[in-house]
């Protein structure tokens, strides 16, 4: 909670800014192909933006502002927050893996589940 009594929204999921783009396309009844023509990007690039595999650059943010709305700042902030969340998730996963390895080295009598055989022998 903030000092002013309002609650802080901290989602426990990661959502690319492309989800917002996809929602706006749905509201307008536009396909990705139609949107790609309007924004002057290849359909493949639009698809990568929507999936979060292509970053929203300053140029892209300007095009988004002109075609579907929102400000350049909105789009760049959405992108920055998404990339930050991915980085934090990756860092957390690394820490968890390191901790698991330390535990495994302290207790070698427990089998390492990551090295378990895919097809254990049947008796």
Residue 9's φ and ψ, nearest 5 degrees, are: -90, 115
CATH 1.10.260.40 holds for 18-105: yes
In the predicted structure, residue 32 carries a pLDDT above the cut 90: yes
Query: How is residue 15 annotated by DSSP?
Result: -
Give the mean model confidence (pLDDT) for residues 30-55.
Answer: 98
Domain ranges for the chain: 18-105
Instruction: Report the mean per-residue pLDDT for the chain.
Output: 85
What's the length of the chain? 123
Nearest one of 28, 66, 63, 72 to 42, comparing CA atoms: 63
Q: How far apart are CA 59 and CA 53, in angstroms?
A: 16
50-58 CB contacts, 8 Å cutoff, 24+ apart: 50/16, 50/18, 50/19, 50/21, 50/22, 51/16, 51/18, 52/16, 52/17, 52/18, 52/82, 55/79, 55/83, 56/17
In the predicted structure, residue 21 carries a pLDDT above the cut 70: yes
The pLDDT of residue 110 is 63
CB atoms < 10 A from the CB of 31, how many? 12
């Amino acid at each position: 909670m903030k000092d002013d009594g309002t609650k802080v929204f901290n989602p426990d999921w990661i959502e690319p800014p492309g989800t917002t783009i996809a929602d706006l396309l749905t509201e307008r009844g536009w396909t990705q192909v139609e949107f790609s023509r309007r924004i002057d990007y290849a359909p493949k690039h639009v698809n990568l933006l929507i999936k979060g595999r292509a970053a929203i650059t300053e140029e892209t943010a300007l095009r988004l502002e002109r075609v579907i709305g929102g400000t350049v700042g909105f789009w760049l902030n959405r992108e920055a927050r998404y990339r930050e969340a991915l980085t934090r998730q990756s860092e957390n996963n690394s820490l968890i893996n390191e901790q698991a390895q330390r535990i495994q080295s302290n207790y070698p009598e427990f089998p390492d589940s990551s090295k378990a055989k895919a097809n254990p022998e049947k008796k």
